[in-house]
Amino acid sequence: MTRDERIIARIARKLAGDAVAGLEETLGGSELQSLMLHVYRRRSAARAPAELLRQYDRVRMLQPARVDPRRLLEVEAAAYRAAEGFEALELAPVAPLGINQVLGEIDQNSCLATVRQAEVLADPTTMAALECARRRRNDGAEVRLCSIGRQLRLQPYDHPEFLPHFKLFSMVTAGRDHGSHRFEMAALGEQLHVYLAMLEDLSASGYRIGEVVVSLSHTGGDARLLERAAAEVLTALGEDFPWATMRLDPDRERGRAYYSGLCLSLDADTPEGHRINLADGGFTDWTRRLLANAKERLLVSGLGIELLARLFR
C-alpha cells in the first residue's frame, strides 16, 4: 500500500460513522485536503474531451470576458495615473478560505472554494485589508493601496450580459483614528478625487461619460457627520470637478451589512442615457478586528472598469 493509499484508508475509517459530520468537524485541514485531492485526481482522469467542451459551453464562469482587452488597458492606465498617491499591488488570484465570510459576511456559496484551504479571489479589498493589517502591525504607518484584478463571484445573475467574473479597480486606505473623524474625511476625499480624475482623463480620451453623481451616506444615519462630510469633502471635490454632481444620500440601503459608517457611491450616465453605478465603497471594521485595535480605520472602494470599457467608449 502506498503512502497516499494509507492516508485515504485512515480517513475512510474516520468517516465510517456520520460522513457529513466527519467532513465538517473530525477531519483536520490537511486530511480534508488529501481526501479532496484524491477525489478530484480520480475524477479528472475519468473525464472525456467532449465533457470538457459541454461544460465550457454551459458554465458562464468558464467563458471569456465580453470586453476588448485593448479597451481595458486604456481604462487601467487611466486608473493608475489618477491613483499616483496609492501603491499599486498585484494581488494573488486566491485568498484564504473564508476571508469574505469572516470579514464581509458574504455567503460562502458566493465564493469558489478550492481543495487547498483557499478560495478564488472574490473581493480584492478583503485581501488588501490583510496586507494593510500586516503592514500596520509592523510599523504603524498609514497604508494606501490600489489594485486591478479579476474577481469571481457565484451569486445568481439575471442579466445575460453579466458574467460571474469581472475586473475591478480597487483602493484601500488604512490608518489610525486621529480624532474628530479627520482620517475619515481625508480618506474619503482622496479616494473620490482619484475616481473623478480618472473619469476626467477618460473623457478627454474619447470616452462619452454623461452626468456623474457622487453620493455620500452613513450606515448608522448620522446626519451631523454627513453634513460635515458635505462641507469638507463634497465642497472641495465640487471645486475641483465642477462637472460632477455632489449630493448626500441618507436613505441608502445598499451595503449596510457590509460597511460600517460613511459610504461613497459614484454613478454615471451612459451615452444612451442609462444611469449605472460605477463605484462603491465605505469604511469597514476589518483592520480593527484583524489587529484587535478599536483605533484602526479602513476605507475600501472599487470601480467596475469593464463597465467603463464596454459601455462608455
State pLDDT tens for residues 274-309. 999 999 999 999 999 999 999 999 999 999 999 999
- Could you tell me which of 277, 270, 271, 273 has the C-alpha nearest to residue 249? 277
- What are the Cα distances from residue 241, in Å, to 33, 272, 304? 52, 23, 21
Top-level CATH class of 65-311?
alpha beta
State pLDDT tens for residues 230-269. 999 999 999 999 999 999 999 998 888 899 999 999 999 9
The mean per-residue pLDDT over the stretch 26-49 comes to: 81
Q: Which residues pair with 265 in a beta bridge?
A: 215, 280
**Distance between CA atoms of 31 and 102, rounded to whole angstroms?**
23
Name the residue ranges covered by the structural domains of the chain.
3-46, 65-311
Q: Are 213 and 244 in contact (CB under 8 A)?
A: yes
State pLDDT tens for residues 132-145. 999 999 988 999 99
State pLDDT tens for residues 75-116. 999 999 999 999 999 999 999 999 999 999 888 889 999 888
The mean per-residue pLDDT over the stretch 201-205 comes to: 96
Q: Are 188 and 216 in contact (CB under 8 A)?
A: yes
